[in-house]
Structure 1
Amino acid sequence: MQAMQINAPLTPSRPDTAVSLSPAALDAACCAALKHEADAWPKPGLVTPVDSGSHRDMNYASFVDSIAAVRGYFAEVAEAGARGATYAELQPIAIAAETRMLAATYGANTHRGAIFNLGLLAAAAAWRQANPAHGRARCGDLVARLWGPAILASRSAAPSSHGQAVWAQFSAGGARAQAAGGFPAVYRVGLPALRALLADGIDEEAALIGTLMALMARLDDTNLLWRGGAAGLADVQSAAHAFERDGGVRHPAWRDRLTHMHSWMVQRHLSPGGSADLVAAVWLVHQLGDA
């Protein structure tokens, strides 16, 4: 099984020194990453404080309520990671967080992907801190090493989902393949894009959106495949590439460009939810000083 395809990977940047955080601080960092992603505007097809994008079952308030509901989960999963928990031991913690999310959002899937992605990265960060000999290892690599085989094996036992259906139809790996592969999209695409924008003096909101567009241009996003098929994915990737070629968020009129893109994506009910989940992961590993 292969990880979600990444086209034309960007050049990786060098890390800061790895940051050590307590479970409570990791929890706060994960929740802050989710809030940063939710607050950013404009994001084509996605929920923002301005509108609900292509989503009819959720809005910005849903995301705020969801973040509040999962607060504490990342500390719990980090504590388990520090103890050397198996993937089977991490799963019930994540399932409990997902149950709280669904109750808070009246059944809307606001953060299922983030519970999975950020939870694993938080667990890996805590494991790294508990094992100083591995202090220079990337959290993504640790996820692959510690839990990768179990993550892939869990696919056959998982309940039916949009991601499962897309895998069967298009052979796109989705979240499980990303995690089992060490989050290549985060480290090879998103993180270098974010750090390059911040280094150029781009403000954090615009840099996060630029990171989103870099991911949208390069990922076989299973949410786009589910909603729009191969043609929908290709159209979004093409538009994201064109946005980058024209200067991206460095262009003075970038917000107008993305507002137009948002309009036609909403008309076609297209949402790059997989890319959005990874934006929060990028922000987290940036804060952790990963390579």
Structure 2
Amino acid sequence: MHALNLQPKTLSLAERLADLAVDALIDEADLSPKPALVDRRGNGAHTDLHLGLMHASALALWPAFKEMAEVAIELGEIGLPLREAVGRIGRDGEQAMLATTHGVNTHRGAIWALGLLVAAAALEPDSSAASAIAVRAARLALLDDRYAPRPLSHGAQVAQRYGARGAREEAQLAFPAVTQRALPQLKRSRTDGHGEQNARLDALLAIMTNLADTCVLYRAGEEGLRTMQLGAQAVLDAGGSASLAGRRRLHELDQQLIALNASPGGAADLLAACLFIDRVESGESLIQGAF
């Protein structure tokens, strides 16, 4: 083959957005040390998950994210046809995920959050401010998908029991945990010179300080939720993950949550959403031929 034929092809907008969604999931999985979550150190509070499985699951979702972006570009407006198409593609993506993981739920919540955000970003690529993307995603989430299955997920059941805000409501409110907590903390930590990995850990902790994480509530009840929220705030108050005192508090939180079998999976999904929006907002995903 001639060398000129080996030039990387120019990717479409849908392909680039799918790349960023998968990158966000892999970066979230790799980030270490996360309290009680799968990372490079181990399985956290999980017995059925490991890092390789998280990577495989993320990669299996690439076609779904690409299709969601494509249908948003094709339809060109927020409405019931787009909402129902995104829902159908998301359910197909979930089946692809489960086939890859042999039935283990690795990224169901992330499919919901990132699927909406991918579609929102594809609708108006020239309007890439975090708040604008989140509002478009919220408008989409507020529409009722007539074809969505009605049985309540574990998260929805827990949200009803404790009066907590679940993943659906978080999206319908334009992802306040991301736009009001995670992204501002991510940028502050970067500005303070804490390094990218510590900035991302601090962003995760900022989400955990306030989120009524239904994954934690399902696994450990209100005690687990209080432990997560207060422990995350203690890490940030001690100087964040870049400080020695903060690292000590982070280690303590990790041990406490593992002992309670409390894994903040909802916070992890929202961190992936934060990383995706951060890259789209920076323009990284929309630069032609960047990947």
TM-score (norm: length of structure 1): 0.85
C-alpha displacement at 1:96, in angstroms?
1.0
**1:53 aligns to what SS in structure 2?**
coil
C-alpha distance in 2 between matches for 1:188 and 1:70: 27
2:287 paired residue number: none
Aligned to 1:166: 158
Aligned to 2:46: 55
What SS does the corresponding residue of 2:244 show, helix, strand or coil?
coil
State the superposition RMSD in angstroms: 1.9
Aligned to 2:181: 189
- For residues 118 and 101 of structure 1, the distance between their equivalents in structure 2, rounded to whole angstroms, comes to 14
Aligned equivalent of 1:35, options 26, 32, 35: 26
Identity, % of aligned positions:
36
User: What residue identity is the alignment partner of 1:264?
Assistant: Q
Work out the CA distance in 1 between the residues paired with 2:49 and 2:183: 28
Structure 2 match to 1:108: 104
Greater relative contact order: 1 or 2 (C-alpha under 8 angstroms, separation 6 or more)? 1
Gaps of 5+ in 1: 1-20
* Counterpart-to-counterpart distance in 1, 2:247 and 2:236: 13
Distance in 2, Cα, partners of 1:275 & 1:154: 27
Maintained 8 Å contact 2:83/2:143: no
Question: What CA deviation, in whole Å up to 9, does each residue of 1:98-131 have, x standing for no partner?
Answer: 11111111111111111111111000000113xx
Give how far 1:253 is off. Answer: 4.6
1:231 deviates by 1.8
Which range moved further: 110-119 or 197-206?
Answer: 197-206
Aligned AA (1:46): L
Secondary structure in 1 matching 2:124: helix
Alpha-carbon distance between aligned partners in 1 of 2:102 and 2:245, rounded to the nearest angstrom: 37
Find the aligned partners of 2:143 and 2:19 in 1 and give their Cα distance. 29
CA distance in 2, matches of 1:227, 1:113: 16
1:135 to partner: Cα distance: 6.3
User: Which amino acid counterpart does residue 121 of structure 2 have in structure 1?
Assistant: A
Structure-to-structure mapping, 1:66-85, within 5 angstroms:
66-84=57-75, 85=81
8 Å contact kept, 1:178–1:184: yes
2:138 to 136, 144, 155: 144
Are 1:198 and 2:190 counterparts?
A: yes
State the SS of the aligned residue for 2:41.
coil
Task: Indicate the residue corresponding to 2:242 in structure 1.
Answer: 250
**Cα 1:146–1:70, aligned 2, differ >3 Å: closer, same or farther?**
closer
Structure 1 residues 154 and 257 mapped into 2: Cα distance closer, same or farther (>3 Å)?
farther
- Please give the per-residue CA displacement for 1:116-174, whole angstroms capped at 9, x wherever unaligned: 11111000000113xx6x666611101122341326x888x532321121122111121
Alignment of 1:220-231 (within 5 A): 220-231=212-223
CA distance in 2 between counterparts of 1:276 and 1:58 reads: 14
**Number of aligned positions between the proteins:** 265
**1:74-111 deviation per Cα after TM superposition (whole angstroms, max 9, x unaligned):** 11101111223421111111111111111111111111
1:286 to 269, 278, 284: 278
When the two structures are superposed, what TM-score results if normalisation uses the length of structure 2? 0.85
Cα distance in 2, alignment partners of residues 128 and 235 from structure 1: 40
The CA deviation at 1:202 is 2.1
Give the structure 2 partner of residue 13 of structure 1: none
**Cα displacement string for residues 31-77 of structure 1 (whole angstroms, at most 9, x for unaligned residues):** 11111111111111101121111111111111011012112221110
| 1:124 alignment partner, one of 117, 120, 128 | 120
2:203 counterpart of 1:211: yes
Structure 1 residue 180 and structure 2 residue 176: aligned?
no
Q: Is the 8 A contact 1:58 1:105 kept in 2?
A: no
Secondary structure at the counterpart of residue 248 of structure 1: coil
Unaligned ranges ≥5, structure 2: 1-11, 76-80, 283-291
Cα gap change, 1:158/1:201 in structure 2, threshold over 3 Å: closer, same or farther? farther
